[in-house]
Amino acid sequence: MSSDPALFRLPPDHPLREWGRRGLLFGAIALALAVVGALLDTEQFFRSYLIGWVFWAGIALGSMAVLMIHHVAGGAWGAVIRRPLESSVRTLPLLAVLFLPIFFGVHQIYEWSHEHVVANDPVLTAKAAYLNVTFFRVRAVIYFAIWIAVGYFLGRWSLDQDRHPESDFGRRLQFLSQGGLLLYGLTVSFAAVDWLMSLEPHWFSTIYGLLVMGGQGLAGFAFAIPVTAALARSPADKVIGPSQFRDLGSFLLAFVMIWGYLALSQLLIVYSGNLPEEITWYLHRSVGGWRVVGWSLVVFHFCVPFVVLLSRQVKRRAPTLAIVAIGLIFMRFVDIYWLIAPSWERHGFALHWLDVVVPIGIGGIWLWYFVRQLASHPVLPIGDPALPAEAIE
């Protein structure tokens, strides 16, 4: 299989490049406003920052999981979204840098980080060997080291496969992904406990890590679809067509169902147990406006996309499928907000202006960096044997 990689580069006037430039502009403005907000209300800034960072990191980590699933399972469905997924994974070093406010702002976010609180709480005292600032930071460094290392080789060997399609790089990627999925499951499960579940350290759920992973997979896959739809116009219009989008729509439906299954499973486990130390987490999320947010997740995160994605016509039309995917990305943010914010706002729904500005700031910078990575390489993995040879020659 041979083709000129330059033919599949992102054109200088491609709309995605404009997305990146606007992302940088709006991101810089939003972060400047966030700095002002940090001076006015430091505690709220760090809370909003955690929400925004977890959302965007979820897209990158979910992209890595989907990418590794493709390398293990194979199939043309993954070949057409490989480069968007790889570009998303390459943003992990940036996300590691953007994690620094959380790394150094532990005391502003987590109650277990205060020694006087732990000393007066038997539950936190029992968990102090794990929930302490030093170990928290050490684990974060380990998580990022693993994610960045796996992501680096996923991207490097993919480009090497383009240059040497007859080599064994495909097998290397498959072997790496087999171990990488195991590492992903372990690290994301622990990270979910560290960064999210420990916001309410008296509460616990054995399925929480899986729920977070399901949401990340959905976010990563949903993000790849509108990017692929934009690439289908140019320069990959001869490769990506209705049949590919039908497959992507079917997989998107599967991710929606997986997320719904995990969310319902956690609810049923807690509901059937009916233990005071478990039900409080849901009680905080069912008072005031939080109940409306919860029901909006049921309707717009599961029911509506489930019904819409059953349609074959919707899945074959790239613009329509992209709209559904963008809607799901927005609902992923709502879900992250519903998971995190009630840990502090326990008397009803409250939306601070920093909850909007900070995620936009982080997202703008992230989107700009993503487009840079996408534009740096051919947008199709021309060495992937799953792509039809006649389409890329």
Q: What is the pTM of this model?
A: 0.96
pLDDT category at 388 given cuts 50, 70, 90 is low
pLDDT category at 50 given cuts 50, 70, 90 is very high
Please report whether residue 390 resides in a domain: no
**2-20: average pLDDT:** 80
For residue 390, pLDDT over 60 is answered with: no
**107-131: average pLDDT:** 95
Please report whether residue 138 resides in a domain: yes
Q: What is the pLDDT of residue 1?
A: 42
Please report whether residue 391 resides in a domain: no
For residue 391, pLDDT over 60 is answered with: no
Please report whether residue 323 resides in a domain: yes
Per the structure, the count of domains in the chain is 1
Q: What is the pLDDT of residue 85?
A: 98
For residue 345, pLDDT over 90 is answered with: no
| Residue in the structure block whose two tokens are 């930071």 | 137
Amino acid at 158: S
Q: What is the pLDDT of residue 7?
A: 61
What the block records as the tokens of 224 is 């790849």
For residue 75, pLDDT over 90 is answered with: no
Q: What is the pLDDT of residue 2?
A: 44
> Which range of residues forms the domain containing residue 167?
5-383
What the block records as the tokens of 393 is 């020659």
Q: What is the pLDDT of residue 208?
A: 96
Task: With both helix axes pointing from N to C terminus, report the angle between 242-273 and 276-284 in degrees, rounded to the nearest 10.
Answer: 130
Quote the percentage of the chain above a pLDDT of 90: 81
Please report whether residue 388 resides in a domain: no
Q: What is the pLDDT of residue 275?
A: 84
Please report whether residue 77 resides in a domain: yes
Q: What is the pLDDT of residue 240?
A: 86
